[in-house]
Structure 1
Amino acid sequence: MKLFKKRDAAPDPEPAAAPVKIEGKGRATPRRKDAEARRLHPVVPTDRKAAKAEARAKRDEAWRLRSEAMKTGDERYLPVRDKGPIKRYIRDYVDARFSLGEVFIPLAFVLMIVAFGIQTRLAQTGLLLMMGLYAVLILAVVDAVVCWWLVRRRLYAKFGQDTVRSQGMIFWYILTRCFSLRRMRQPAPQVARRHYPS
């Protein structure tokens, strides 16, 4: 009796069909010299004067478009810090109201000239004028903070808290605009006084 029987040999599997080989790429392989020549670009343009003139023309056109956008408020050409509906809303709100910061710089200029002029004769009056200037500065900062608080509430209601916070610190944007003279603001105001955005 055989303990170990030889298993029946399994039938050989059918040979797999040989893959169809595709001959060639359908195009000739370019020579290395030709391929390298196609990849080469001159570092220095052949006609430097023409390249300079073209670069200057592009720069002047970009500057012109940006300057025009600063006057008209065209979103396409505004700088990144001024782009977007949230920044537009802030500008319109600040431009619609009167801010104490608008008068601070001209008032400071006048008061400093007067204070230095009379300081030698009336030292007490010059000191009072300087204290008045500091008082105006503090009131202007408080006014800007109130403006920021009001604008932030409106922005949260209109755009949502997360969207507004994704814009970064809007406080400094509001503060700098509140302390600029209306006619000197960039981008230029697009709304009249008391025409607040909805």
Structure 2
Amino acid sequence: MLGWKKNTSEPDVNSVTPESVTSPTQPGKKGRPTPKRRESEAARRRPLVPDDRQAAKKANREEARKARMTQREAMARGDEKALPARDRGPIKRFIRNTVDSRLSIGEILLPLMLIVLVLMFIRVQAVVFFAMILVWGIVIAGILDAVLMWRRTKKAIIEKFGEEPPRGSASYAVMRSFQMRISRMPKPQVKRGDKSWKA
């Protein structure tokens, strides 16, 4: 139609300048094309078997070593969760504290055996005989001391907990009393002569 005029509101294509086009680095924009789904899945996909198996084995061994060290440290502290079944429970802790708070004759048996072993090389009959008599005397005294210790400990357990100690507690106490204090596991939690833990 002759009276029709071109709409002046439409932008002229030729008048669009490069500055008017939104820059891909403009704030609020990604600045990069959207990755395809195939590319995204490939980026997330990881091999089930690592490329360097030797390094993976080494890393696994290191993790296992750290786990064992943590377990051993917790056991040495007497942490109930880290203790084996034979060491768990308040009664077993009571037995350990009883043994550790006293000086047992059986503790000196192992150091004495080492001394006797050294004396064996002297090849003096009188010295060897005296050493053997001393060892057997310490063994007998240690057994008697351990038996008396257990009788007192058993009585204290019944008074404190109102029940008999579990099966195997006697050997548990005697064996610990014959171990050197430094080699006991869990480590002693009380000092010699300390009775405050009984309160």
TM-score tier by shorter-chain length is 0.5 to 0.7
**Paired residue for 2:42?**
none
Q: Partner amino acid for 2:188?
A: P
Unaligned segments of structure 1, at least 5 residues: 1-44
Q: How do 1:100-111 residues align onto structure 2 when only pairs under 5 Å count? A: 100-111=105-116
Confirm whether residue 195 of structure 1 aligns to residue 176 of structure 2.
no
**Paired residue for 2:152?**
150
Task: Give the distance between the partners of 2:155 and 2:70, measured in 1 at CA.
Answer: 34
Residue of structure 2 aligned with 1:138, choices 117, 122, 140: 140
Contact kept in structure 2, 1:112 and 1:130, CA below 8 Å: no
Cα displacement string for residues 55-112 of structure 1 (whole angstroms, at most 9, x for unaligned residues): 6466335412321113321111112221111111111110000001111100111023
Q: How do 1:66-105 residues align onto structure 2 when only pairs under 5 Å count? A: 66-105=71-110
Task: Give the distance between the partners of 2:91 and 2:112, measured in 1 at CA.
Answer: 31
**Paired residue for 1:19?**
none
- TM-score after normalising by structure 1: 0.66
Contact kept in structure 2, 1:101 and 1:180, CA below 8 Å: yes
Task: Give the distance between the partners of 1:150 and 1:51, measured in 2 at CA.
Answer: 55
Contact kept in structure 2, 1:65 and 1:77, CA below 8 Å: no
DSSP-derived class of the 1:109 partner: helix
Q: Percent identity?
A: 34
Cα displacement string for residues 1-33 of structure 1 (whole angstroms, at most 9, x for unaligned residues): xxxxxxxxxxxxxxxxxxxxxxxxxxxxxxxxx
Cα displacement string for residues 24-44 of structure 1 (whole angstroms, at most 9, x for unaligned residues): xxxxxxxxxxxxxxxxxxxxx
Task: Give the distance between the partners of 2:159 and 2:66, measured in 1 at CA.
Answer: 39
Give the C-alpha shift of residue 52 in structure 1: 5.5
Task: Give the distance between the partners of 2:153 and 2:60, measured in 1 at CA.
Answer: 42
DSSP-derived class of the 2:147 partner: helix
Task: Give the distance between the partners of 2:144 and 2:107, measured in 1 at CA.
Answer: 13
Q: How many residues align?
A: 148
**Paired residue for 1:178?**
177
1:77–1:187 CA distance, 2 compared to 1 (3 A): same
DSSP-derived class of the 2:104 partner: coil
Give the C-alpha shift of residue 130 in structure 1: 0.6
CA RMSD of the aligned region, Å?
A: 2.3
Give the C-alpha shift of residue 142 in structure 1: 1.0
Residue of structure 2 aligned with 1:117, choices 114, 117, 121: 121
1:156–1:55 CA distance, 2 compared to 1 (3 A): farther
Unaligned segments of structure 2, at least 5 residues: 1-46
Runs of 4+ in 1 over 4 A off after TM superposition: 48-58
Q: How do 1:22-61 residues align onto structure 2 when only pairs under 5 Å count? A: 46-47=48-49, 49=53, 56=61, 59-61=64-66
Give the C-alpha shift of residue 118 in structure 1: 3.0
DSSP-derived class of the 1:174 partner: helix
